[in-house]
């Protein structure tokens, strides 16, 4: 297949006269050098289409959208009009116009990106494919994994973990833990759970400081699933020099936590307007960071290739679920005009290995730097530069025909990272098959939950029937799976656990759980069950 490349063509990042008249805060100086090159510093002139952008659902990104609209001579509209609807509402799931207008939302993505749900899925993937899904820290979900985490602390009291509330954002409620006592038990109430991950204590250090990366990943098509990674992004630095955690510094958030929302209120935060060259800013562009990394003697190409590999595996894991949620919204039709810009946060360790920290369903697209808490500050040229690329090019790329997207290896500031069904992980199809059985038991309506009356239809499967597992046994298993979930129906993760328990009942009990032998039995059982529902 012929591959195509369309290089970036960033127009002036300096705001237009129309913008200056409309909003004086956008009249900020921007380094002229940044205007001459895109993320790869190779430009070609392409004709810009005239688009109308619906901003009625926009929130924090409204100033960025207005800048992009004015910059390109596009039109801002509201209501139900426009070529593209851009929503900044995290819970936005209105797809009634998706067959007519492009919408920057993919159904169900807010669940996939939710800390607890993504943690559950990633733990599941690693339990089956440990060598492929080794790109995220060991993760415990509280309160469910409370006993397992407590046992981990008892086994090794020198281990350090970082706890994040499942409903938190912008660095709120994050704690470093050496024992269960470090996080008050009251915080594990029904209203708030925690994701607890092993702390990466040997991060790559640049300018004596720890940092993380906000990587922008665009799902430009769902069926087939096509994704691109933006060559620009943000490096967010701690504001205190790094020291390995110890009893004296474990509570020093500015030393250990890279969250911008925390560090921006530090009196040591360094605000910069430099975009291309090496600088000491607390928030930097990738093109600036790569120069600092290479100056320190590291390979930016190795880091970037490793990041792309992480994103690719992440998408391979989530593709079946993205398709399922898409089908739940559109009844299996592949005509909806959906795309989604994700913020993937990664930390690089001293071996240049990237570790997944978090997936952001609605990454911040604000372009102001807040000089004071609660007070909107000036436009940050760094944010404006990076986020203009991420948003503007996501709109242009996602509107291209799927056939064209499949052929493109690059487009402006984006680089292909996932192309339909080309990327595979051996054995991963078993997850797709279980999801197919789950969907069929739901009655081809792609419901997100499975009722007891439908679950017990498994009793008709010959391998289950031959094991003398009857409907009442399945009813008991169903009740066990939904206990403590707060629901009367079974979600997909609980369904997988139920399938695992059924495998233990009908297969060789000598096979160690999650061993290679066990997985072969598991895969064979799933094949048999799936065949029974064709």
Of residues 519, 307, 322, 310, the one with CA closest to residue 423: 310
> What's the full length of the chain, in residues?
534
The DSSP-derived string for 20-59 is HHH-GGG-----GGGGG--TTS-----PPP--EEE-TT--
Structure tokens at 311: 């994103």
Residue 447: predicted pLDDT: 58
Q: What was the pLDDT predicted at 423?
A: 66
pLDDT at 329: 84
- The residue with greater pLDDT, 421 or 116, is 116
Task: Give the range with max mean pLDDT: 64-78, 110-124, 516-530.
Answer: 64-78
pLDDT of residue 190: 45
Q: What SS3 class is residue 111? A: helix
Going by pLDDT thresholds of 50, 70 and 90, the confidence category of residue 374 is low
Element (H, E) at 163: strand 161-165
Q: pLDDT band at 25, cuts 50/70/90?
A: very low
Averaged over 46-60, what is the pLDDT?
90
Which band of pLDDT confidence, cut at 50, 70 and 90, is reported for residue 446?
low
Calpha distance 480→67 (Å, rounded): 54
> 278 pLDDT exceeds 50?
yes
β-pair partners for 321: none
Reported confidence tier of residue 10, pLDDT bands at 50, 70, 90: very low
Reduced to 3 states, what is the DSSP secondary structure of residue 102? Answer: strand
- pLDDT of 334 strictly over 80: no
Integer distance in angstroms from the first to the last C-alpha of the chain? 34
User: Encoding tokens for residue 406?
Assistant: 């499949």
The per-residue pLDDT for 325 is 86
Q: What would you report as the CA-atom Rg of the chain, rounded to the nearest whole angstrom?
A: 24
All domains of the chain in start order, with CATH: 1-135+213-230+299-421 (no CATH), 138-198 (3.30.1490), 429-532 (1.10.238.10)
User: Given pLDDT bands bounded at 50, 70 and 90, which one contains residue 192?
Assistant: low
Average pLDDT on 111-132 reads 89
pTM of the full structure = 0.89
pLDDT confidence band for 456 (50 / 70 / 90): very high
Find, among 169, 152, 170, the residue nearest to 161 by Cα.
Answer: 152
Q: Which residues contact 293 (CB under 8 A, 6 or more apart)?
A: 204, 206, 299, 300, 303
How high is the pLDDT of residue 15?
45
Q: Are 296 and 206 in contact (CB under 8 A)?
A: yes
pLDDT at 45: 47
Range name among 71-75, 158-162, 386-390 with the lowest pLDDT average: 158-162
d(CA 526, CA 425) in angstroms, rounded, equals 17
pLDDT at 7 over 80: no
Q: Tell me what the mean pLDDT of segment 321-343 comes to.
A: 87
Q: pLDDT at position 194, please? A: 86
Indicate the average pLDDT of the chain. Answer: 86
Lowest mean pLDDT segment, chosen from 24-28, 94-98, 370-374, 495-499: 24-28
- Asked, as a colleague might, if the bond just before 143 is cis with ω within 30 of 0, I would say yes
Q: Are 139 and 119 in contact (CB under 8 A)?
A: yes
Mean pLDDT (whole number) for 178-193: 65
Return all residues near 130 (Cβ < 8 A) that are at least 6 apart: none
Given this model, what pLDDT does residue 14 score?
41
The pair of three-digit structure tokens given for residue 265, joined into one six-digit string = 């209120």
Most distant pair of Cα atoms in the chain: their distance? 77
pLDDT digits (tens, 9 = 90+) for 153-171: 888 877 899 988 876 665 5
What are 420's two structure tokens? 């339909």
Is 419's pLDDT higher than 80? yes
| pLDDT confidence band for 3 (50 / 70 / 90) | low
pLDDT at residue 184 greater than cutoff 80: no
């Amino acid at each position: 297949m012929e591959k195509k490349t369309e290089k970036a063509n960033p127009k002036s990042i300096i705001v237009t006269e129309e913008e200056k008249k409309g909003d004086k805060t956008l009249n900020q100086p921007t380094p002229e050098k940044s205007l001459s090159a895109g993320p790869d510093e190779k430009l070609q002139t392409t004709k810009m289409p005239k688009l109308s952008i619906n901003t009625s659902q926009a929130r924090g990104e409204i100033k960025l959208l207005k800048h992009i609209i004015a910059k390109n001579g596009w039109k801002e509209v509201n209501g139900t009009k426009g070529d593209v609807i851009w929503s900044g509402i995290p819970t936005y799931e209105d797809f009634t116009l998706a067959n007519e207008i492009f919408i920057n939302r993919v159904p169900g993505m807010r669940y996939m990106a939710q800390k607890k749900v993504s943690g559950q899925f990633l733990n599941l993937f690693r339990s089956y494919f440990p060598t492929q899904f080794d790109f995220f820290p060991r993760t415990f979900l509280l309160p469910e994994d409370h006993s397992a985490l407590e046992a981990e602390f008892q086994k090794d009291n020198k281990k350090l973990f970082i706890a994040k509330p499942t409903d938190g954002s912008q660095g709120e409620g994050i704690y470093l833990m050496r024992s269960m006592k470090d996080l008050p038990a009251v915080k594990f109430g029904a209203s708030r759970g925690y994701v607890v991950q092993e702390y990466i204590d040997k991060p790559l250090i640049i300018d004596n400081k720890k940092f993380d990366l906000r990587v922008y990943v665009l799902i430009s098509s769902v069926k087939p699933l096509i994704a691109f990674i933006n060559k620009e992004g943000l490096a967010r630095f701690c504001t205190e020099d790094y020291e390995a955690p110890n009893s004296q510094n474990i509570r020093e958030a500015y030393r250990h936590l890279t969250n911008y929302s925390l560090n921006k209120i530090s009196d040591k935060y360094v605000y910069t307007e430099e975009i291309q060259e090496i600088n000491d800013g607390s928030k930097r562009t990738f093109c600036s960071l790569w120069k600092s990394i290479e100056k320190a003697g590291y390979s930016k190409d190795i880091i970037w290739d490793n990041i792309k590999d992480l994103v690719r595996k992440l998408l391979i894991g989530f593709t079946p679920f993205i398709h399922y949620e898409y089908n739940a919204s559109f009844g299996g039709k592949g005509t909806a005009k959906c795309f989604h810009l994700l913020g993937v946060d990664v930390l690089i360790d001293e071996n240049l290995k990237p570790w997944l920290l978090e997936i952001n369903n609605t990454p911040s697209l604000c372009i102001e730097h807040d000089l004071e808490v609660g007070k909107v500050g000036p436009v940050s040229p760094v944010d404006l530069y990076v986020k203009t690329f991420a948003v503007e090019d996501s709109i242009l790329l996602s509107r291209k025909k799927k056939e064209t997207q499949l052929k493109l290896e690059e487009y402006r500031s984006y680089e292909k990272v996932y192309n339909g069904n080309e990327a595979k992980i051996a054995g991963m199809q078993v997850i797709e098959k279980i999801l197919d059985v789950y969907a069929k038991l739901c009655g081809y309506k792609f419901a997100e939950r499975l009722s007891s009356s439908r679950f017990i239809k498994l009793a008709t499967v010959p391998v289950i029937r031959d094991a003398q597992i009857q409907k009442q046994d399945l009813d008991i298993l169903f009740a066990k799976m939904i206990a403590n979930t707060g629901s009367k129906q079974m979600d997909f993760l609980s369904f997988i656990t139920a399938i695992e328990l059924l495998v233990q009942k009908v297969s060789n009990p000598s096979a160690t759980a999650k061993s290679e032998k066990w997985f072969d039995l598991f895969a064979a059982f799933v094949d048999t069950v799936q065949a029974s529902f064709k």
